[in-house]
A and B are shown apart, each in its own frame.
Chain A
Amino acid sequence: MKKGVILSPGVLAGVIPLVFLSLFYFYPLAGIFFKSFFSQGGLSLSSSGYVVQSKRMAGIVWFTLWQAGVSTALTLVIALPCAYVMATFHFRWKKVFMTLATIPFVLPTIVVAAAFQALAGEKGILGNMAPDQCLVMIFVAHMFYNFSVVLRITVGFWSAIGPQMKEAGAMLGARPVQIFFKITLPLLKPAIFAASFLVFIFCFSSFGVILILGGPGFSTIEVEIYRQAAHLFNLPVAAMLSLLQIVITFALMWIYTSLQKRLVQFSPETETLSARPPWGLMEKSMVAGCVGFIICFCLCPMLALVIKSLWYEGSLSFIFYRSLFYNVSGSIFYVPPVRAMGNSLMFATATLAMALAVGGCAAMVIHGARGRFARFLDPLFMLPLSTSAVTLGFGMIITLDTPPLNLRTSPFLVPVVHTLVAFPFVVRSVLPALRSIPHALREAAGMLGASPGKVWVHVDLPIIARALTVGAVFAFTVSLGEFGATLFTARPEYATIPVAIYRFLGQPGATNYGQAMAVSSLLMLVTATGFMVIEKLRPRGHEGF
């Protein structure tokens, strides 16, 4: 009976993510794989031989793996100290800094490249740091993008660790370092693991950063798939590589899921929070260091963009912003800035809702399921995050082409595709919180006569609300910054802000460049505003981000 109470809502919830994934992910992928491998009648596996034998491919796979590993490690190194400060101390404008750290996530790579160049380039503010150290640029960009992923996921979890346990440790004579390594770190592991895997998979399937900042000397599997599919139209090789990418992701997630079983669980303090003002010089300088780092690392590149958008012929000017409202060439594809913002916000809101629904349900079903099925489900739900956009896009074109699923040119496909990328973030942030809820709590509520639904609303939801907020922020951000979805639906009237940026950068001319910078600044503004609204909607008493 106990088991029934715990399982039934979870199993019911499982229908939503499974149907969603089957329709919009597995069905299109199966279609394109089938077409690629069986197009010449029989099974053509010549391509697999090509992929396996080619030395160049082996190099690409190896590079993809190690750059992702190094990027993840570096991101952890810079983000964890900041997470410690953010979780431990209260200080003025903490939320503002948290927001600042997350905005980079939405910026198109080409704009980030421009920002870095403004700082690091020859005429840049930082002087003579060479911008062409390509490998370094890849790592810096990956850290720039993923800093907030680690920060938000760990802070949400970290601030829930009550001070009691640490105090008990201190009372028994443990030094602060010991407390950290023996108590805090083991408790934090689920969140750190979750964040690391997200970052790793993100870097593993990195596309724009490698292509634009790394330069042509570097290639990940994702870049190679794009080259093979879009330029050479070598579908069998592209499909083979996509499959390889999926298998690697699945294997990694499998290891991760197995590791997670051995982690310590703890009961979070949902109401009392351990954040306090910093005392003494040491702690104050830690806060200053964290704030200083975020200013240098996140704010400066963004400011450089804003300055570029406001700088015209040696003085401040709004000329680029004003010209946004004027269709110089009379093009039918001109998108007024307000409409681009409206489109972006519409898609982001729809994505947020869908990602929370799909991701929340997916987390519940992973949590509720037992045995082999569970170990299979968790990796399954992470696959969309690392699947090549071109492959999926081609798949959708050949499969979603007949009623009732004739969605090939429907704008509805945009939030769907965004949700595919966004919902794994929701899963990863919600799952650790869900796992931290002691069964005794639910059982007690059940024993006192609460129905499973009531138990969920009054026990589960308040505890996972913080994690849901984190997931919501990421869903919103992923959607705002996602450019690849134009690969899927091609209706120019639904142009989003990133699409507008790329449109301006498509042609020479100083005005175009200035306008691209102006629209990028607007994108940052919209993102920041969106965060404020999401945070306002968050229930009080949960110091999550």
Chain B
Amino acid sequence: MKIRFGVFFLVLSVCVMCGCSRDSEKKETTSSPSPSAASAQSETEVKTPEPREIKEITLMTHDSFSVSAEVIALFEKEHNAKVIFLKAGDAGEALNKAILSRNNPLADVFYGIDNTFLSRALAADMFMPHPSVHLSHVDDALKLDPSQGLLPVDFGDVCINYDRQWFQNHDMLPPTMLEDLIKPRYKGLLVIENPATSSPGLAFLLATVSRFGEDGYLEFWKQLKANDVLITSGWKEAYWGKFSAASDGDRPLVVSYASSPAAEVFYAKEKPAQSPTGVVIGHGSAFRQIEFAGILKGTKQESLARALLDFLLSPSFQADIPLQMFVFPANKKASLPQVFQEHAAITKEPATLSPGRIQSHRDLWLSQWTELML
């Protein structure tokens, strides 16, 4: 027993010491090192001389960002650089962290500010203007920052998705516009996300404001509430918890993206000819979310940062966007993958609101909505 106990204590103390040495290691590398540590450091530097120094560049973004390894390798090879990614939480959090660290930026380039947050980002005045050559291939409707500090990189439409099988089984037609949702036959079928905690939820609220106006949107919501709409906190809970096409839930209508059906096909084991879900995008019922990227002021590698932002707008990165993030590329030169051409939708008449109006009214709309619905 004594031996066992000794082993326990030994392991414990080793663990503790490891913990401490990690600590001191960290401090040594970051603080002004002691003479011995300094000499050791210079020795290793002498031993391994780099022929050409690889430059590191940091891209800060939100949790949903993704890119193919081979695409980013194109950039790294061309510029002899290494791209470090920082995922700083959801879209709102990531932006707030960038604003907080404005004077000592965490990164060189930021990707993923959407039009609902655009005004906040511009007010912080932290992006460097960059009139990229690729902007000529981007639709003018997507360019919302005249100072060209934030450039449009992708867009997607938030809209109602429906469960095809469910509507077939019940011999019903799916809704075609927002007004349909308050009809008695669609009672108890819709699940939405809380706009105060979810980005598609907010986009859907903005779609209703855009459609029914500031005076009329609350009336619509009142009737939606009477029609037994279900509210969840976030997209995951709605889609994976309540949506009948993706979960054990019993709601055949959900607020999601117009590209979600393409994801359903892409991530199915055996690719179906038709997606199990469809979308409602007519008559201004889909809100267009546009994402922007920009160079953070204070970057120490301005030219490489400019090159990276150009790369993010170039056809090679843009063509990778659909299957990585399931949104559409901003650059029209980028080709769409097959599954997107067949199963994803772009509405011709998206609901839009100016970023300035969203910024100044967001609090008001959210509190009015919360008071009415919760």
Contact = CB atoms under 8 A, between A and B. Distances in A.
Contacts of A457: 9
B22 A350 contact: yes
B260 A508 contact: yes
Nearest to B268: A510
B363 interface: yes
Between A216, A507, A511, the greatest number of chain B beta carbons within 10 A of the residue's beta carbon is seen for A216
A512 B64 contact: no
A511 B323 contact: no
A47 B84 CA distance: 38
A395 to B, nearest CB: 9
B89 interface: yes
B106 A409 contact: yes
A407 B31 CA distance: 12
Given A114-B240, A215-B231, A513 B15 contact: no
Q: Output the residue of A217, A394, A397, A503 with the most chain B CB within 10 A.
A: A397
Contacts of A537: 7-8, 11
Interface residues of B, number: 81
Interface string A451-478: 0000001000110010010000000000
A117 B239 CA distance: 13
Contact of B89 (A230, A232, A491): A230
Interface in A376-416: 390, 393-394, 397-398, 401-410, 412, 415
Interface in B21-72: 22-23, 26-27, 30-32, 60, 63-70, 72
B69 A330 contact: yes
Contacts of A127: none
Given A215-B231, A509-B264, A490 B236 contact: no
Contact of A212 (B72, B234, B249): B234
A376 to B, nearest CB: 26
A292 interface: no
B20 interface: yes
B248 A117 contact: yes
Interface string A498-537: 0000110111111111000000000000000000000001
Interface in B260-283: 260, 263-264, 266-269, 277
A220 B99 CA distance: 26
B236 A505 contact: yes
Contacts of B232: 215-216
Nearest to A332: B69
A231 B11 CA distance: 45
Interface residues of A, number: 84
A540 B1 contact: yes
Nearest to B270: A313
Contacts of A227: 196-197
Given A121-B249, A350-B18, A230 B90 contact: yes
Given A397-B101, A508-B267, A511-B268, A117 B247 contact: yes
Nearest to B15: A353
A336 interface: no
A230 B96 contact: yes
Contact of B12 (A356, A390, A412): A356
Contact of B63 (A465, A468, A506): A506
A410 B19 contact: no
B267 A394 contact: no
24 contacts: A110-B236, A117-B247, A118-B248, A124-B248, A223-B197, A328-B267, A331-B66, A394-B96, A397-B100, A398-B101, A403-B31, A404-B31, A412-B23, A490-B60, A491-B86, A506-B236, A508-B246, A509-B263, A509-B267, A510-B268, A512-B267, A513-B240, A539-B4, A540-B5
Interface of B: 1, 4-5, 7-9, 11-12, 15-16, 18-20, 22-23, 26-27, 30-32, 60, 63-70, 72, 84-90, 92-93, 96-97, 99-101, 104, 106, 120, 194, 196-197, 230-234, 236-237, 239-241, 246-250, 256, 260, 263-264, 266-269, 277, 323-324, 326, 362-363, 366, 374
Given A333-B85, A486-B89, A487-B93, 9 more contacts: A215-B232, A230-B93, A231-B92, A233-B96, A394-B97, A502-B63, A507-B263, A508-B239, A508-B267
6 smallest beta-carbon distances between A and B, as pairs? A509-B267, A404-B31, A353-B15, A216-B194, A539-B5, A353-B19
